[in-house]
């Protein structure tokens, strides 16, 4: 027996309608093409002429990666605080406040349950628009709770990452979130439930060096920056030019760190097929 | 300034030199001279005490990186007997930045693993300044799994600026190697202890640091990023490292308050490099006591407790 059944009734049905973008058009950062917003949405936020994958907000991710209206959020009240009274050019407290106001979110991680081609999943998104998607205490706790939820409810787990790494303003506490989330994935692994890690542009530092690299299957979008150290840090250390395509998804596939690259168009369907394989016969 | 000397150590070293001159000169033979020597000795002790009582986090960073500070290899030599080094990750190569092997401390047989920064210039280059590559982390895990299989407790010694940021390290999966260690160390079925002896540099330190207990030398540091790195990103200039060292809460007393570590191993006044024998004894004692305590704990409870400890880490709004 596998871990899911398609016959289950949808338990969650919450409206997560996407905000319609205010701008009428966007310029492709790769080829310079001017793309009408409608065309951009029709092509899943990829450039119709060069295939460039635009960065997504979490709402866009929910629409693209899960079945329509199937996503229900969990643990949404868990939010960032300033545990160390940290102050750089501005106090971390203020940074949190401003980011929370701007994004309407309490942390960089959105956790929930949803369906992917009819399959129930526990799914979470680490979102770049909230402080570079950095991993702090609140994010680590939500990831840990989501893993627990997957174990308790016998659901496959999917985490979609887009992050610059650990959150410096929480120093050692953010570093410990790497251990916490990775340890919890060990618990999930013991149950036989699958974990699929989806790596979007960019996934680096403490996030790639913890839960994002530990998927039973690691999937990347094309041309995403994925690595441990940032390219600038490496360049400063070794004092030589970096090879073309260094730390891009294709590089990671070539070096055996990512299972496959899936283009955004048809992503959900392919993800559903992989989940089906992981369910066995 | 003398080689290997920290700025705040300068007055101490000057006084030490004066004292040595007196001891080696005529003064040592006269009554008044002997009294003078005694006065200077007292003065020196007070100066060391007061200097080390008001150390700033930045001073502590400097002590943690002090060129004379005992390294992992020094601990190997001085803590136990019958060390047998084991090499390689069985996959790519032997990483000299990460050492490991069997050792007997007291009567306890153990597996020890840790980073070695290297001492002289050639050795530093050979050891890559203690910055391990993926094969180093994989070697560490191989040795820890070996210890698990043959029921040897594990002690790791952390002393690294960080995992190596290089082209080859990325090609061979630095992220994956560290991430795997974090996950696997959480489930190792033997007692585990990590000791931060110098620099606990971010993921590179954590990669061998997920253990039942974490002990920290008094003047060692542990943080998510180096003060210099943090300063150049958040404070817009690496010159602000002194400020970011304070903000990062990276000292042993900070981390004990945050309940990230379980204990502080006291250093001699003047820091471990001023009296290595003192620190070897303290570390030996700590290892023997902690391992004895962990061995008394039932294995399934030990594993539950280990996971729970990490699950409880973090401060957030509920
Ligand atoms: Zn384009």
Domains of chain A: 56-278 (3.90.226.10)
Looking at chain B, list the stretches that DSSP marks H as alpha helix, in order from N- to C-terminal side: 10-24, 31-53, 57-64, 72-79, 121-126, 134-149, 167-171, 174-185, 202-206, 227-234, 241-247, 252-257, 276-296, 299-311
**Six-digit token pair at B203?**
């993921």
Separation of CA A27 and ligand 1 centre (Å): 8
Angle (CA) A270 A180 A153, round 5°? 50
Mean pLDDT of A40-63: 93
Question: Rounded to whole angstroms, how far apart are CA atoms B101 and A229?
Answer: 29
Residue for token pair 């993926």: B134
| Helices within chain A (DSSP H only) | 37-42, 58-65, 92-103, 137-153, 171-191, 205-208, 231-238, 249-254, 267-278
Strands B108-115 and B98-105: antiparallel
Q: Is B255 on the interface with A (CB under 8 A)?
A: yes
Q: Do B206 and A80 touch (CB under 8 A)?
A: no
Question: If pLDDT is split at 50, 70 and 90, which confidence band does A3 have?
Answer: low
Enumerate residues with CB within 5 Å of ligand 1 (an ion): A 28, 30-31, 33, 47, 50, 52
Contacts of A189 in chain B (CB under 8 A): 183
Cross-chain Cβ contact B310/A237 below 8 Å: no
User: What per-residue confidence (pLDDT) applies to A144?
Assistant: 98
Using CB atoms, pick whichever of A87, A175, A234 lies closest to residue B206. A175
pLDDT at A5: 58
Nearest Cα residue in chain A from B259 = A173
pLDDT digits (tens, 9 = 90+) for B196-248: 999 999 999 999 999 999 999 999 999 999 999 999 888 888 788 999 999 99
Spell out which residues of chain A touch residue B173, defining contact as CB-CB under 8 Å: 213, 255-257
B residues 167-206 lying closer than 8 A (beta carbon) to A: 167, 169-176, 178-180, 182-184, 186-187, 202-203, 206
pLDDT tens profile B252-297: 999 999 999 999 999 998 899 999 999 999 999 999 999 999 999 9
């Amino acid at each position: 027996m596998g871990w899911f059944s398609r016959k289950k009734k949808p338990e969650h049905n919450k409206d997560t309608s996407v905000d319609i973008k205010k701008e009428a058009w966007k310029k492709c950062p790769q080829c310079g093409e001017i793309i009408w917003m409608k065309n951009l949405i029709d092509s899943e936020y990829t450039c119709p002429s060069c295939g460039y994958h635009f960065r997504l907000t979490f709402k866009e991710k929910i629409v693209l990666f899960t079945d329509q209206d199937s996503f229900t959020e969990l643990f949404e009240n868990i939010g960032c605080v300033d545990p160390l009274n940290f102050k750089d050019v501005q106090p971390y407290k203020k940074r949190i406040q401003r980011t929370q106001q701007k994004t309407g979110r309490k942390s960089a991680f959105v956790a929930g349950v949803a369906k992917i081609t009819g399959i129930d999943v526990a799914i979470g998104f680490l979102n770049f628009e909230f402080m570079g998607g950095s991993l702090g205490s609140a994010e680590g706790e939500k990831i840990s709770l989501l893993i627990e939820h997957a174990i308790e409810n016998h659901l496959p787990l999917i985490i979609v990452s887009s992050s610059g790494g650990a959150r410096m303003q929480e120093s050692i506490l953010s570093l410990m979130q790497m251990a916490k989330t990775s340890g919890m994935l060990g618990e999930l692994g013991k149950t036989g439930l699958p974990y699929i890690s989806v790596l979007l542009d960019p996934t680096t530092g403490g996030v790639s060096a913890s839960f994002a690299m530990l998927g039973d299957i690691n999937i990347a979008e094309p041309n995403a920056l994925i690595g441990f150290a940032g390219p600038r840090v490496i360049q400063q250390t070794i004092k030589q030019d970096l090879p073309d395509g260094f730390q891009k998804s294709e590089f990671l596939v070539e070096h055996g760190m990512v299972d496959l690259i899936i283009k955004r168009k048809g992503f959900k369907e392919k993800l559903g097929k992989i989940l089906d394989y992981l369910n066995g016969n | 300034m003398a080689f290997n000397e920290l700025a705040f150590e300068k007055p101490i070293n000057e006084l030490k030199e004066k004292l040595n001159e007196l001891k080696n000169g005529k003064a040592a033979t006269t009554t008044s001279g002997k009294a003078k020597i005694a006065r200077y000795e007292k003065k020196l002790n007070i100066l060391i005490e007061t200097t080390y009582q008001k150390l700033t986090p930045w001073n502590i960073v400097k002590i943690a990186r002090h060129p004379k500070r005992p390294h992992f290899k020094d601990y190997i030599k001085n803590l136990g007997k019958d060390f047998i080094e084991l090499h390689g990750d069985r996959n790519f190569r032997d990483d000299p930045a990460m050492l490991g092997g069997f050792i007997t401390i007291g009567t306890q047989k153990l597996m020890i693993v840790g980073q070695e920064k290297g001492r002289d210039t050639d050795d530093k280059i050979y050891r890559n300044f203690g910055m391990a590559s993926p094969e180093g982390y994989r070697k560490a895990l191989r040795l820890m799994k070996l210890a698990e299989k043959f029921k040897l407790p594990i002690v790791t010694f952390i002393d690294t600026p960080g995992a190596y940021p290089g082209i080859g390290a990325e090609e061979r999966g630095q992220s994956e190697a560290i991430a795997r260690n974090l996950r696997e160390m959480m489930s190792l079925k033997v007692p585990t202890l990590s000791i931060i002896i110098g620099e606990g540099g971010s993921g590179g330190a954590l990669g061998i640091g997920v253990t039942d207990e974490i002990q920290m030398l008094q003047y060692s540091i542990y943080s998510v990023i180096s003060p210099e790195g943090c300063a150049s990103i958040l404070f817009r200039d690496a010159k602000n490292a002194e400020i970011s060292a304070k903000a990062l809460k990276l000292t042993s007393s900070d981390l004990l308050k945050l309940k990230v570590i379980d204990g502080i191993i006291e250093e001699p006044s003047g820091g471990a490099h001023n009296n290595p024998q003192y620190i070897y004894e303290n570390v030996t004692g700590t290892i023997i006591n902690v391992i004895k305590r962990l061995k008394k704990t039932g294995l399934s409870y030990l594993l539950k407790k280990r996971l729970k400890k990490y699950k409880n880490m973090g401060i957030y709004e509920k």
